[in-house]
Structure 1
Amino acid sequence: MSTATQETPLAGRVRAGLAGLHPGEPVGELKVLPGGHSGLTYSVTAGETKYVIKAVPAGQRPVGRNDVLRQARVLAALAGSAVPVPGLAVVDEAQPAWFAMEFADGDAVEPVLDEPEVAEATARARMLEIASVLRRLHGTDVDAPGLDAPAPLDAAGELARWSRTLHAVPAELRPGGEELLERLGDDVPGGLPPVLLHGDFRLGNVLCVEERAVAVVDWEIWSVGDPRIDLGWFLLFADHRNFPALGRAVPGLPTEPDLLDAYLDGRPALPAMDWFRALGRMKMAAIMGHNLRRHREGKHHDPDQERLPPTIAAMIRTARDILG
């Protein structure tokens, strides 16, 4: 349940910023939006309009997931494009920085993982729809004014980054992980022209109304790099069997080949997709292993993390199978 915050310096700044858009209209209290994993996320109303506020936590550096101005830049670059994103309303660069974006109605549900369940036909249509959204995202100009895109990360760089994360997971929690990393390292594919990457592209991060995608959200880790990095991650969520003890079967959900076909839309097949499919599984194993380790070390108490070992093992095993 959302809870109202007390009046804070941030609340005062947000009130002043939105009052400029809604002169004479009341601005409500900031309410914490649950489920956020980066920075501070609130909802607020100004007149009849509802906004989402993203802010740097007081006393913290605006880096990584707390760099909300970086998130605002990509939303501004995509405004009016073929990629649906929430409209950017106010950006306040004074630290601790914050921005306001329009509240997008819709639900973001991962069919094989999340509650509530979505009708099978709707889940299928949504997944095929966002495959085309991903294609349009990858067609965005990475030199768009104001985007200030980082240097591109190639396959080798992405592998090195997530290898470090997996190595930080205790060996007993990542059975077969070393062999998988060796296989990935032995056959790193050549790169494709860099594109704008979301970094966590899946239905759980796309607000939908019925079968239509209305807003891609959660841009905390956007980057520039090989399009197959996003694709390999997205394809993971097509099959509940990738998530033992976590996932559920969704009859009629598109297969990985179905999603690739929808993404390509008649274009030539992408080379070395199996390597990127395996990379996506390694990344998921690394993330889950990291979260489970933090729970067991008492750094973030979450007993639900104890459900992860079968999925971590399955991610590594199936990645090795994909690589042969």
Structure 2
Amino acid sequence: MSARTSPRTGADQLRERVVKGLRARGHRGEAGVLEPMPGGHSGLTYRIALGDEEFVVKAVPAGQRPIGRHDMLRQARIMAALGGTGVPVPGIRATDDEVPAWFAMELVRGESVEPVLDDPPVEPATAAARMLRAAEVLPRLHGVPLASLPVDGDPLSPAGELARWARTMGAVPPELVPRAAQLERRLAARVPEAVTPVLVHGDYRLGNIISVGSEPTALIDWEIWSPGDPRVELGWFLLFADGSNFPGVGRQVPGLPTADALVDAYTGGSPAPEALTWFDGLGRFKMAAIMGHNLRRHREGRHHDPDQEKLPSTIERLIATGLDRLT
């Protein structure tokens, strides 16, 4: 190999495949660079332009098995299936199941910012309007018939959801999640009956919704979609409407809708779903388990991130408020 020649990288090879795949689907124009994008919690995410069009590409990392969060094509399948349903999703433009698999979707412009957690801060009136619109859009997602979707798993019941997050919590040293065992016992003592399962996104919140002004234009990050209980999703969404749930890591945003107002927007004025207080408590237990897990990984040196040291007060707050709700 000459001094002027360098081996092609995996990114070079991926770019060639992406450009070829997009052109096979009728997209034309000069191809730009494959530019890594920040954010995301699974796979590799890039931006690329072909002529006047721009696309987001998600790919399985080389050597990574395409399962769970790394199953890129599973994400593409659900977004493609939701096209035309009224659920705002990016349009899928190309897919490729050759290893490593990837898909390309349209680049949807706008902001996806969690008002109580993310920077830059969102103007309070805009944050409030976005949260109400998100609550109004959520029933569209839950109303899509499961028979029309590429469902590939069984729904979890409320008891199954609790068991799932209890396993995560059980792997966290008790001193990092004080009183978590007490909250788990209260949840276990009053598990609600299951309802007819619906499509759930799994992490429905403003941080995963691209908005222009107050209008949601794309629900993104479909790594953990599944059939499930709609109240699990609603309880999780409500957690992010109150910055006081996140002392030390979040902010309080004046004027955000109350939980009652968001539930009213979700139901269209009908009565709140049964046992919603239990799902509120489950959401707090779940978030405390996730944060406890992350703090444990940091302290064990498996993923060094000094920001994790800000989590203890939030973990304690989540558990305490969960206990209060289930008194």
Q: TM-score, normalised by structure 1?
A: 0.96
The match for 1:242 is: 245
CA contact (8 A) 2:154 2:227 kept: yes
**Counterparts of 2:143 and 2:27 in 1: how far apart (Å)?**
38
Separation (CA, whole Å) in 1 of partners of 2:52 and 2:292:
44
SS at match of 2:48: strand
Task: After TM superposition, list the pairs within 5 Å mapping 1:161-310 onto structure 2.
Answer: 161-310=164-313
Q: How does 1:1-324 map to 2 (within 5 A)?
A: 7-22=11-26, 25-145=29-149, 147-324=150-327
Asked if the contact 2:151–2:226 (Cα under 8 Å) also holds between the matched residues in 1, the reply is no
TM-score (norm 2): 0.95
2: CA distance between counterparts of 1:247 and 1:61?
Answer: 34
| Structure 2 counterpart of 1:225, one-letter code | G
| CA shift digits 1:43-80 (9 cap, x unpaired) | 11111111000111111111111001110111011111
Letter matched to residue 214 of structure 1: T
Deviation, structure 1 residue 167: 0.7
CA distance in 1, matches of 2:220, 2:28: 30
8 Å CA contact retained: 1:18, 1:27? no
Residues 117, 23 of structure 1: alpha-carbon distance in 2 compared, 3 angstrom cutoff: closer
Per-residue CA deviation, residues 71-104 of structure 1 (Å, 9 max, x unaligned), is 0111011111111000000011222211000000
Cα distance in 1 for partners of 2:287, 2:279 equals 12
User: Could you tell me how far 1:19 is from its partner in structure 2?
Assistant: 2.1
Q: Secondary structure at the match of 1:8?
A: helix
- Work out the number of aligned pairs and report it: 319
How far is the alpha carbon of 1:20 from its aligned partner? 2.1
Say whether the 8 Å CA contact 2:45–2:58 is kept in structure 1. Answer: yes
Q: Is the 8 A contact 1:22 1:46 kept in 2?
A: no
Q: Which one-letter code corresponds to 1:105 in the other structure?
A: R
3-state SS of 2:145 partner: coil
Rate the CA distance shift 1:273–1:32 in 2: closer, same or farther, 3 A: same
Return 5+ residue gaps in structure 1 as ranges. none
In structure 2, how many angstroms separate the alpha carbons of the residues matched to 1:234 and 1:184? 19
Gaps of 5+ in 2: 1-8
Following superposition, the deviation at residue 7 of structure 1 comes to 4.6
What displacement does 1:281 show? 0.3
Q: Is the 8 A contact 1:243 1:311 kept in 2?
A: yes
Divergent runs of 4+, >6 A: none
* 1:255 positional shift: 0.8
User: Does structure 2 retain, via aligned residues, the 8 Å contact 1:22–1:47?
Assistant: no
* Distance in 1 separating the partners of 2:10 and 2:97: 22
Contact 1:55 1:97 in 2 (8 A): yes
Superposed CA RMSD in Å reads 1.2
Q: Is the 8 A contact 1:19 1:27 kept in 2?
A: no
Measure, in 2, the Cα distance between the counterparts of 1:221 and 1:245.
27
